[in-house]
Amino acid sequence: AQKVTQAQTEISVVEKEDVTLDCVYETRDTTYYLFWYKQPPSGELVFLIRRNSFDEQNEISGRYSWNFQKSTSSFNFTITASQVVDSAVYFCALLSYNTDKLIFGTGTRLQVFP
């Protein structure tokens, strides 16, 4: 069975704080892809990153960074020096190469206060 767990339902921080959003996944597939999406109040899904199961290199993109640990089946997302505009719901998702289905975690609502 495929499953994505985002244990943090809601996180509140003050601007300029660093924040890490956790994501733990389950899959029996050897080939899979992990994603992070941002969903602002308007509802559209904004793609942030894709990582395939064979690439465990961590990635940094501006204030965003991702830590992929296959040994613990985790794909955590860190926002450095958070800003009010980062307030949104963030979803971690798993795509199975075999089924092509994208399974979402329950999401983490991030609120950044000025």
Partner 1 sequence: GAVVSQHPSWVICKSGTSVKIECRSLDFQATTMFWYRQFPKQSLMLMATSNEGSKATYEQGVEKDKFLINHASLTLSTLTVTSAHPEDSSFYICSASPDTEAFFGQGTRLTVV
What DSSP string describes 43-77?
---EEEEEEETT----EEETTEEEEEEGGGTEEEE
Is residue 82 within 8 Å of residue 111, measured between CB atoms? Answer: no
Burial of 93 (0-12, 13-18, 19+ CB in 10 A): buried
Site string for partner 1, 72-111 (x = CB under 8 A): -------------------x-x-x-x--xxxxxxxx-x--
Q: Whole-number minimum distance, CB 93 to partner 1, in Å?
A: 8
Site string for partner 1, 2-41 (x = CB under 8 A): -------------------------------x-x-x----
Q: Whole-number minimum distance, CB 12 to partner 1, in Å?
A: 15
Instruction: Tell me: does residue 45 bind partner 1 (CB under 8 A).
Output: yes
Out of 15, 16, 20, 50, name the contact with partner 1 by CB under 8 A.
Answer: 50
Residue type, 11: I
Write the CB contacts of 30 (distance below 8 Å, at least 6 apart in sequence): 53
Is residue 89 within 8 Å of residue 39, measured between CB atoms? Answer: yes
Binding footprint of partner 1 on the chain (CB under 8 A): 33, 35, 37, 43-45, 47, 50, 52, 91, 93, 95, 97, 100-107, 109
